[in-house]
Amino acid sequence: MRKRVIKDMMNRKILLRSRPQGWPTDENFEFQEAPLPQPGEGQVLIRAIYLSVDPYMRGRMSAAKSYVEPYRIGEVIEGGGVGEVIESRSDKFQPGDKVLGMLGWQLYGVADADKLRKIDEQTAPLSAYLGVIGMTGLTAYFGLMDIGRPKAGETVVVSGAAGAVGSIVGQIAKIQGARVVGIAGSDDKTAWLTEQLGFDAAINYRTTPNLKDALEKECPQGVDVYFDNVGGDITDAVIGQLNDHARIALCGSISAYNDSEGKDIGPRVLVKLIKTRSLMKGFVLGDYADRLPEGAKMLGQWLSEGKLKYEETVIEGFDRIPEALLELFKGTNIGKMLVKVG
């Protein structure tokens, strides 16, 4: 009987209709209704609860080679999500189980049981598995700890500091004993960073008359570690303040993601990196696949000890997923941007 009801329901999906040139628009997305998919042997049917929108998705909408395959035209846009198992053809899951996986931009999805992780609402709210103890928290952890390697007393600067990754980076750097300076795009954000998250200082890059002067003031000992989420002019300014043997973890370059090819022009960093003998390294979470349990353990521990705080910006409604992605690029979110769909 229960199965019957499900079958009468329709699925909704968002497909990539065309590749954006510059900022994504409605034209690039296609909403589609379809019957509920049927799980095969070893698979489960999942009803989405929260779907994640993340900056890396813009890269996958382009055809250019990158660390993950581009999205394909006419296919559901892939992305992380948490949901509830509705029907299971695997021993690993029962209907009602909550799971984390690559659910994609759809209300219902079928997934291989062994590509899903069962999550526990008692340990943390479902949404946290997409943020502070999920992909963005882990990204913060590995980029900072493996590339940035902050030492007590050093100065760590984080751009995109009020975002899902940056807000965790700064708090982990504080746990390591560093002086932490965040760069963000509104006074609400900078207030949140210093008053709630314990950042030593925060700079609103939209209102500061001179970012270089602001950095010099807030980083009187120079910059030892820079965790970069944004690129562009902000990064140019921070690189100007590097100390000898500085480390730069390149996590994102959101200011450039909607540029057309060849538009991201600025001062070359080579001479500065030589003079300071600094290291700059790009990374993605996938590079740390072998070490995920370590990261999850540390994040979970700090969260339970009250050393990590987080916020989420939750947009309600499946139809608003593309809008949520755009808002992310505009920087309207504080903390992890999520869409609640169920």
Distances (CA, A) of 175 to 198, 307, 312, 314, 324: 10, 8, 21, 27, 31
Q: To the nearest whole angstrom, how small is the minimum distance from the Cβ of residue 235 to its own copies? A: 6
The answer to whether residue 278 forms part of the interface with its own copies (CB under 8 A) is yes
Distance CA 232, CA 308 (A): 28
> Which CB sits closer to its own copies, 95 or 266?
266
How many residues touch its own copies under the rule CB under 8 A: the total is 38
Helix (H) or strand (E) segment spanning residue 190 = helix 187-191
Choosing from 20, 125, 282, 342, the residue that interacts with its own copies (CB under 8 A) is: 282
The total of other beta-carbon atoms located within 10 Å of residue 320's CB is 16
Q: To the nearest whole angstrom, how small is the minimum distance from the Cβ of residue 20 to its own copies? A: 16
Choosing from 1, 152, 270, 289, the residue that interacts with its own copies (CB under 8 A) is: 270
Cα atoms in the 13 Å half-sphere on the side-chain side of 36: 20
Helix (H) or strand (E) segment spanning residue 204 = strand 201-204
CB burial string 124-143: b at 16+ within 10 A, e below: bbbbbbbbbbbbbbbbbbbb
> Which CB sits closer to its own copies, 209 or 262?
262
Q: To the nearest whole angstrom, how small is the minimum distance from the Cβ of residue 284 to its own copies? A: 6
The answer to whether residue 256 forms part of the interface with its own copies (CB under 8 A) is yes
The answer to whether residue 216 forms part of the interface with its own copies (CB under 8 A) is no
The answer to whether residue 292 forms part of the interface with its own copies (CB under 8 A) is no
The answer to whether residue 244 forms part of the interface with its own copies (CB under 8 A) is yes
SS3 215: helix
Choosing from 67, 112, 114, 221, the residue that interacts with its own copies (CB under 8 A) is: 67
Any idea which residue has 């340990």 for tokens? 123
> Which CB sits closer to its own copies, 80 or 232?
232
Q: Of the ranges 20-28, 58-66, 91-99, 132-140, which one interacts with its own copies (CB under 8 A)? A: 58-66
> Which CB sits closer to its own copies, 58 or 336?
58
Any idea which residue has 């998919």 for tokens? 37
The answer to whether residue 235 forms part of the interface with its own copies (CB under 8 A) is yes
Short-list 63, 258, 80, 222, CA closest to 164 = 80
Cα atoms in the 13 Å half-sphere on the side-chain side of 136: 34
The answer to whether residue 268 forms part of the interface with its own copies (CB under 8 A) is yes
The answer to whether residue 148 forms part of the interface with its own copies (CB under 8 A) is no
Binding-site ranges for its own copies (CB under 8 A): 59, 65-67, 228, 231-232, 235, 244, 250-253, 256-257, 262, 264-284, 287
